[in-house]
Amino acid sequence: MISKIMQDAINEQIKNELYSAYLYLAMSAYFEERNLAGFASWLRVQASEEQEHAMKFYDYLHDRGGQVVLKAIEQPPAEWKTNLEVFEQVLEHEQKVTSLINKLYEQALKENDYPSQIMLQWFINEQVEEEKNASQIIENLKLIDARGTAVLMLDHDLGKRKSE
């Protein structure tokens, strides 16, 4: 049986993961409206992943005999100034999620809740990947701003070359 403190913290994280999905869906819509289908698709996949993360926590609570209590989700922003600003917000948001996951892990350590520690290891590893992906996109967008889109287009084309 999971503790009440851990149950409440995981319920809060379910809300946070669903907010992440909502935020990324709003960002996807922003790019759709600007005919940037690739950006929109990437963020839509990201939104779907965040929903999956929420469901991992949801299922985990049920597996441990806890009660899922869904909380209200805040409305995300809908406008940004630049493509770079969107992905800077993605990175900032992922860093916040990392902090929240770390706090959950600290609580699991404090309670000697070994099952939660093991489950949260997956999320800790996932957050490393999430921050890395956002950082790489930011660096690519900065390169575009500095040198023009042709550099990345050429890079993409050159990357298709196969050795004979």
Model pLDDT for residues 128-139, shown as the tens digit of each residue: 999 999 999 999
Summarize pLDDT for 37-92 with one digit per residue, the tens. 888 999 999 999 999 999 999 999 999 999 999 999 999 999 999 999 999 999 99
- Domain membership flag for residue 164: no
| pLDDT for 152 | 63
- Domain membership flag for residue 105: yes
- Domain membership flag for residue 129: yes
Q: Give residue 125's domain range.
A: 4-159
Total of domains in the chain = 1
DSSP assignment letter at 76:
P
Side-chain-side CA neighbours of 103 within 13 Å: the count stands at 12
Q: At what angle do helices 114-147 and 149-159 cross, to 10 degrees?
A: 120
Task: State the virtual CA torsion across 141, 147, 150, 156 in degrees, nearest 10.
Answer: -50
| pLDDT for 156 | 64
User: In sequence order, what are the residues at sequence separation of 6 or more whose Cβ sits closer than 8 angstroms to the Cβ of residue 74?
Assistant: 19
Question: Is the whole-model pTM more than 0.75?
Answer: yes
CATH number assigned to the domain comprising residue 58: 1.20.1260.10
CA–CA gap between residue 29 and residue 88 (Å, rounded): 17
Judge residue 153's burial from the number of C-beta atoms within 10 Å of its C-beta, 0-12 exposed, 13-18 middle, 19 or more buried. exposed
Mean pLDDT of the chain: 92
- Domain membership flag for residue 31: yes
Cα–Cα distance list, 53 to 22, 26, 57 (Å)? 13, 18, 7
CA–CA gap between residue 115 and residue 46 (Å, rounded): 27
Q: At which residue do the structure tokens 């299922």 appear?
A: 59
